[in-house]
Amino acid sequence: MAEAKGRTTGLVARPLWRTGKQIVRTLILGRPNTVLYPHHKLDLPLGYRGKHVVDFKRCIGCGNCVTICPNDCMWLEKLEDPELGKIERPGIDFGRCLFCGLCVEVCPTAAIHETVEFELADHERQKLRSGPKELRDDTYADKIPEERPKRSLPVLDLSKCTGCEKCAEECPEICIAMMPIEKVERSKPEITLAKCTSCGKCVAACSEQALTMMDVYDSYFDMPEPKLKLAECTGCGACARACPADAIYMLEMPGTEKVLKDGKKGKPKKRAVFVLEKCVGCGRCFRACRFHAIDMPGVRK
């Protein structure tokens, strides 16, 4: 009692004054702060991690989200779409999803997003599995503001490239180098993306329209890069068919034509050429190659 001497009245009166104001605020002037949840819904922020939506038009079906999912709750499903043809798109098992958002961050085309929808409970475990069709929302990604940093970069279409070196001459930052492709007797422009300033002069210089400026999202993750062991490559083209980003081109190697019995020359052997600027690091070429010709450290078979 001694230490509270002289302050006792204030110790009683101040809390009473505070709660008195609270009563006036919640009972007479307004309402309590609490949101009556099932009737009124809280305005959730944009970064809220709820149910995912997949933009089918942006998604390239690379499966990076499936690979990175720490709970293994995603899978790729083969679909037949009237608009997009034969595609592969991810599905999510919300019973196991921990809403970490890694799939959203790893997506190279920002096709997958987490919405504020969180009422996902169901009576059956099986109904928590959402296939790609349930996740599809092609308009969501365009409605919300972009959060991922992206850059406008020149992207090479190697099938149109003639190796004329005009782009390398035009580049003010000297970030385009013509690199010879082994055994193909051609060279292709390789762009050092770190130095590129998105000026677009190389695109303007290209007479074949092999270079186009495209929006590329920055990746937060280390991307594994495929490496070709040329001695093992048979030129079957399985990797090029598997690549979701069309970064692999099959080029003919002159001088490897077999002489047929009738003396004519046959078709030359082919080899795979990677355009690493387009690669999303998914490892599908590595998995598709049956001759162990592609090496990709850090990717599961």
Instruction: Find the shortest distance in angstroms from Cβ 19 to another protein.
Output: 4
The upper half-sphere exposure of residue 240, i.e. CA atoms within 13 Å in the direction of its Cβ, equals 17
- Return the number of other C-beta atoms located less than 10 Å from residue 35's C-beta: 11
From CA 94, how far away is CA 117, in angstroms rounded? 12
Nearer to another protein, 21 or 241 (CB): 21
Nearer to another protein, 13 or 98 (CB): 13
- Return the number of other C-beta atoms located less than 10 Å from residue 69's C-beta: 21
Helix (H, G, I), strand (E, B) or coil at 192: coil
Nearer to another protein, 23 or 42 (CB): 23
Instruction: Find the shortest distance in angstroms from Cβ 22 to another protein.
Output: 5
From CA 271, how far away is CA 72, in angstroms rounded? 34
Nearer to another protein, 34 or 126 (CB): 34
Instruction: Find the shortest distance in angstroms from Cβ 48 to another protein.
Output: 23
Nearer to another protein, 11 or 260 (CB): 11
Instruction: Find the shortest distance in angstroms from Cβ 127 to another protein.
Output: 28
Instruction: Find the shortest distance in angstroms from Cβ 9 to another protein.
Output: 11
190-203 burial, b at 16+ Cβ within 10 Å, e below that, comes to bbeeeebeeeebbb
List of residues contacting another protein (CB under 8 A): 1, 8, 12, 15-16, 18-20, 22-23, 26-27, 32-34, 36
14-32 burial, b at 16+ Cβ within 10 Å, e below that, comes to eeeeeeeeeeeeeeeeeee
